[in-house]
Structure 1
Amino acid sequence: MSPIGLEGILIQLFQPYFYYSVIFLAISSVCIKILLRHYCFLGRRARSIIYLIPLAIPVVVMSFFHPNTTAKIVNLIGTIVKSNGGEIVYEEMFLSTAEVLSVTGILCSVALTLGTAFFVTTILFGDRIATKLFHVITLTPEEYPWLQKRVNWIAQKFNLSTPKIGIVEDLRPNAFTIGYGRRAILVFSIGLLDILNEEELTAVASHELAHLKNHDFFFKTLSNTLNIVSFFNPFAYIMASAAQREREMLADESGAKLLEQPELLAKVLAKICKALQTFPKESLAVRLTSSLFLVFPIAQRPKILATHPRVNQRVRNIAGLTSRVTSVHNNVAIAVILSLLIIVGGIAASYCLINIRTSFMQNDSPLISFHQPIDKPKSGFVLNLKNGNMVSVQTLAGTYSITVSGAGGGIIHSRLLPQR
């Protein structure tokens, strides 16, 4: 039977694969968020990769502490204390162990399974799924020849293979890319073709092909996979969204530099954003795949969870490409000092949180399994093996001599040894 009450809940939460995944992701997320506010000299590519570091930590933790579907619980049945003149000379405890369902272990196992399935499915079949989901119609060489010529010109400038071009019968003006390499498809909506001229559509193509140049299909797949692995941690959504916003900024910068007309792409973004505001609420498919689009269509989502920056922020970023002046030396000095402070603070916070777990598990839920022979030291204990059935355990209270007896080793006789 699973333990109930606060202690039972804490035992579930303090399982190492869950506890360390959550606290290390949270602490590293806060540290990186603070640091990158002052790392202005870093490029968008580097910033986006740094945002993924906290998301990778749970995968590393679970590779060391494999999630289990059960957890061992040690229950105190009773204790007998004998004293002589108020001084404890002998103490006997009766303990039993039991295995209970580990909710956090199941949660982590499901997360790893879903993350792996998502990654494999997206890499192998992502382009086909998206094509069917959006009902993409691939253009023949005779359709929209002027558009295909423009896309081919941009692809050559980026040194890319020319992707296929598709359209979707959607009046919302937007564009997105599907797939990677020779399987890539650049998709325009009918609404976008209606409101933009050839020059403006060239700017859109430069942004979308910049995603292909920067391998953003793989980056977004990886960030979403890592997000799924920690879907129970709010910080995972914050970090994944921040990383994807940086990739959008990177695509803006790459596309604008290729065109040598930054103001054109900025103008197009503002024009599309204004047009989207006249349309009703998006469908479920649009909401689930909104990270694909040129302009983020969901205005109601909080900024911290948006996969695209606000359009006015993107416009300012593009406009600053030609006028950006950064005091690198001052920024580096500030960043180094702040880095040291944040690293020390992060280590201190991690140390305190690890000690909280260790203290709880030692005092309230010993980590020794008495169903198995004790053949090596366990975390938090110093064991000196006497023989097959007796060991001494060094704790904060003193040294205990423990004799294991009973069917299956389920009853523990513990005697407090005198201090030397």
Structure 2
Amino acid sequence: MSYFKTAMLMAAMTALFMGLGYLLGGVGGAVIALIIAAAMNVYTWWNSDKMVLRMHNAQPLEPGDRMGIYAMTADLARNAGLPEPKVYLIDTPQPNAFATGRNPSNAAVAVTTGLIRSLSREELAGVIAHELAHIRNHDTAIMTVTATFAGAISMLANFALFFGGSRERLGLFGTILMMIAAPFAAALVQMAISRTREYAADKAGAEICGHPLWLASALEKIASGASRIDNAAAERNPATAHMFIINPLHAHKHDSLFATHPATENRIAALRDMVGQVDQSRPAPSKPLSKTSIPKAGKRSRPGPWS
């Protein structure tokens, strides 16, 4: 059902884009708009991981980092049947994480220093498993495409006043209304897709780590931290907000049309309902995170007891 909803929302985004192109330039305008969007999507799809990681000044972690983040991610990736993704550290006090990349073979998981300081090892495993679920479900590619479509729709809507065809079909008032309504509708569809994929990633992430309550506890702590602590890079790049496990821009409390993420309370309740439905035979990590072992982003460190 989750994939069906995503497919329907993607179809709605495509229809909106094509319809806008038709209103601007008839059949020829629709074709030209589709070609432009396709070119934008190919470029963004191929370079999405590099662009997003650069926006957030993410620094790579190497195998053997003394925090053991790389080793934990590799173990969970094997549980998920995935190649080992690249692992990055973002130096910000806000607890959060995201995944990016065009496919599982070219994927990356990024966690913040605030996340490592705030969570236990078990909770951190739940978060990383959630991000790996996004990679396995190809959500990173889906969200990149929808974000590009939304940007293209906004661009075309801004061009509406310069095209005589749209004024002839809709009139001046109709053209201005379209300039406002089209980007708004595209944003709603983009948010709906994001919320749909978050529920699916929560479920798959709980199955990957084997303990739904690890992720449920992590979500509660991350939501509390994200509501109090600013993320400067995310504020400068709000288009990436939907990629994080919790909205870094201080998420809306309810599952409204304008929220990029589902309400955290609803996600936690769904995870608690999964207890007893997944294989919980995987052992819990033996040692908690050590706050003193967290290096500054970008600095390499020697192997520690987690490696």
Q: Same fold (TM over 0.5)?
A: yes
Given that 1:241 and 1:305 are in contact with CA atoms closer than 8 Å, whether structure 2 keeps it comes out as: yes
Q: Where does residue 198 of structure 1 map in the other structure? A: 121
- CA deviation after TM superposition for structure 1 residue 277, in Å: 2.2
Given that 1:115 and 1:228 are in contact with CA atoms closer than 8 Å, whether structure 2 keeps it comes out as: no
- CA deviation after TM superposition for structure 1 residue 170, in Å: 0.8
Letter in 2 for 1:50: M
Letter in 1 for 2:270: N
- Is the strand fraction higher in 1 or 2? 1
Q: Where does residue 130 of structure 2 map in the other structure? A: 207
Alignment of 1:16-95 (within 5 A): 43-59=1-17, 61=19, 65=22, 67-68=24-25
Q: Where does residue 273 of structure 2 map in the other structure? A: 320
Alignment of 1:97-176 (within 5 A): 112=34, 115-144=37-66, 146-176=68-98
Q: Where does residue 77 of structure 1 map in the other structure? A: none
Q: TM-score, normalised by structure 1?
A: 0.53
Given that 1:114 and 1:228 are in contact with CA atoms closer than 8 Å, whether structure 2 keeps it comes out as: no
Q: Where does residue 160 of structure 2 map in the other structure? A: none
The reply to whether residue 247 of structure 1 matches residue 247 of structure 2 is no
Given that 2:191 and 2:260 are in contact with CA atoms closer than 8 Å, whether structure 1 keeps it comes out as: yes
Q: Percent identity?
A: 24
Q: Where does residue 303 of structure 2 map in the other structure? A: none
- Is the helix fraction higher in 1 or 2? 2
**How far apart, in 2, do the equivalents of 1:68 and 1:281 lie?**
41
For residues 182-234 of structure 1, give each alpha carbon's deviation from its aligned partner in whole angstroms, at most 9, with x where no partner exists. Answer: 32111111111111121111101100000000001211122223333433412
Given that 2:242 and 2:260 are in contact with CA atoms closer than 8 Å, whether structure 1 keeps it comes out as: yes
Out of 270-279 and 47-56, give the one that drifted further: 47-56
**How far apart, in 2, do the equivalents of 1:271 and 1:315 lie?**
11
**Closer, same or farther: CA 236–155 of 1 in aligned 2, 3 Å:** same
SS at match of 1:252: helix
For residues 317-347 of structure 1, give each alpha carbon's deviation from its aligned partner in whole angstroms, at most 9, with x where no partner exists. Answer: 22233599xxxxxxxxxxxxxxxxxxxxxxx
Given that 1:127 and 1:178 are in contact with CA atoms closer than 8 Å, whether structure 2 keeps it comes out as: yes
C-alpha RMSD of matched pairs (Å): 2.9
**Closer, same or farther: CA 214–315 of 1 in aligned 2, 3 Å:** same
5+ residue gaps in structure 1?
Answer: 1-42, 70-104, 325-420
Q: Where does residue 289 of structure 2 map in the other structure? A: none
Given that 2:9 and 2:193 are in contact with CA atoms closer than 8 Å, whether structure 1 keeps it comes out as: yes
**How far apart, in 2, do the equivalents of 1:198 and 1:46 lie?**
34
- CA deviation after TM superposition for structure 1 residue 120, in Å: 2.3
**How far apart, in 2, do the equivalents of 1:240 and 1:159 lie?**
28
5+ residue gaps in structure 2?
Answer: 158-181, 278-307
Letter in 1 for 2:81: N
Given that 2:45 and 2:145 are in contact with CA atoms closer than 8 Å, whether structure 1 keeps it comes out as: no
**How far apart, in 1, do the equivalents of 2:186 and 2:142 lie?**
15
Q: How many residue pairs get matched? A: 246
Q: Which has the higher contact order (CA 8 A, sep 6+)?
A: 2
Of 178, 181, 184, 2:100 maps to 178
- CA deviation after TM superposition for structure 1 residue 115, in Å: 3.3
For residues 24-79 of structure 1, give each alpha carbon's deviation from its aligned partner in whole angstroms, at most 9, with x where no partner exists. Answer: xxxxxxxxxxxxxxxxxxx322222222222122455578x59539xxxxxxxxxx
SS at match of 1:166: strand
Q: Where does residue 285 of structure 1 map in the other structure? A: 236
Given that 2:90 and 2:113 are in contact with CA atoms closer than 8 Å, whether structure 1 keeps it comes out as: yes
Given that 1:147 and 1:198 are in contact with CA atoms closer than 8 Å, whether structure 2 keeps it comes out as: no
For residues 262-294 of structure 1, give each alpha carbon's deviation from its aligned partner in whole angstroms, at most 9, with x where no partner exists. Answer: 122111101111112222475533423111111
Given that 2:41 and 2:145 are in contact with CA atoms closer than 8 Å, whether structure 1 keeps it comes out as: yes
**Closer, same or farther: CA 280–137 of 1 in aligned 2, 3 Å:** closer
Given that 1:48 and 1:243 are in contact with CA atoms closer than 8 Å, whether structure 2 keeps it comes out as: yes
Q: Where does residue 89 of structure 1 map in the other structure? A: none
Task: State the structure with more CA Rg.
Answer: 1
Given that 2:16 and 2:186 are in contact with CA atoms closer than 8 Å, whether structure 1 keeps it comes out as: no
**How far apart, in 1, do the equivalents of 2:215 and 2:10 lie?**
28
**How far apart, in 2, do the equivalents of 1:293 and 1:135 lie?**
15
Q: Where does residue 357 of structure 1 map in the other structure? A: none
SS at match of 2:68: helix
**Closer, same or farther: CA 280–159 of 1 in aligned 2, 3 Å:** closer
For residues 94-118 of structure 1, give each alpha carbon's deviation from its aligned partner in whole angstroms, at most 9, with x where no partner exists. Answer: xxxxxxxxxxx98x79965763453
- CA deviation after TM superposition for structure 1 residue 313, in Å: 1.6
